Amino acid sequence: MTDSALPRLLRPRALRPGDLVVIAALSSPLTAAYEPNVEQTVVVLERMGFRVRRAPLLEVGQRHWWGVATPEEIAKEFNGLLRDPEVRAIVASDGGHMAFGYLDLIDFEAVKADPKPILGYSDISLLHLVLHARTGLVGFHADMAVPGFGGHWRSAPVQRQRELEALYAELLTSTEAIGALPSSPSWECWRPGRVEGPLVGGVINRIVLAQATPFALPLERFDGAVLFWEELGGLASYVWNYLQVMRHSGILDRIAGMVVGTPRDIAGLEPGASPTLAEIVLDALGDRDIPVLGNVEVGHAGPNLPMPVGIRVALDARERTLSLLEPAAAPHGTTGPVG
């Protein structure tokens, strides 16, 4: 695919007070233990000024195998939300292991006709990558109901909760660039440097697996990009192998910078173990002199900083800053592809 054939960036329309946000089960089922997380998410979204509704599949006890329903049933509900003009944003209830089953059933034309923010991470990062590849849609790699808005946020200090709530509300409603994301002492410079480029990423295993499907991001999408990724579970060796796949496929030769999320429950990365995650990353990069910012709040380890897929950012690893240089949402009446 040539660069001219790549879909242009497609920003969803900025939300207004009173707009309808739907919480939907796009992968995993909802268990009774996590019902309070969904209820708290409703509270958080309403506090941001939105109306909130739950999609029909988001019901305790509703399940099929390891998912909330069959791929066909999930796709039918998802497509209905994409086509419904009243629905202005979709928040995933949870991640899981079902999105691969319905990639070929997604109504991409509905996305192009009425782009809207879709929020989530983990398995939902697969949807962001695929929708960005096929339509240019800006994906909101961000917190969802379980455990995010309804769990991790409540365990964070009150000041951090307020900071995140204001950040998410601004991201969804503003047509101006947000600028620097709020940093924390956990951020680490693994390789210094400053670059600008579009954000691309998600959970690392979904990035790698997506590239093995017909819905893969064209390699040109990684040219000059700031690649962000995180991982949950598995082994340190798995992460190293995923990075090696990216090396062999040419992704690491194309990106301009890297942001690594805080890992969670990865065997072999315990304190005192060897190698560290930084050593794994730098080993895979070899002599590629690109800035790397590590241990950023992106993914499963706690409250997420939102990462809008496709938006141009500035990364300064030495100064430990990451800034959004463009808005994630478009003004009303201008929700079309942009240059």
Report the length, in residues, of the chain. 339
Please tell me whether the peptide bond between 36 and the residue prior to it is cis, using omega within 30 degrees of 0: no
N-to-C CA span, the chain:
18
Angle between helices 236-249 and 277-285 (to 10 degrees): 20
Handedness of CA 246, 252, 256, 260 (dihedral sign): positive
The closest of 101, 104, 93 to 37, measured between CA atoms, is: 93
The catalytic residue positions are 122, 230, 300
Report residue 125 CA to chain centroid gap.
5
Query: How many Å apart are CA 298 and CA 301, to the nearest integer?
Result: 8
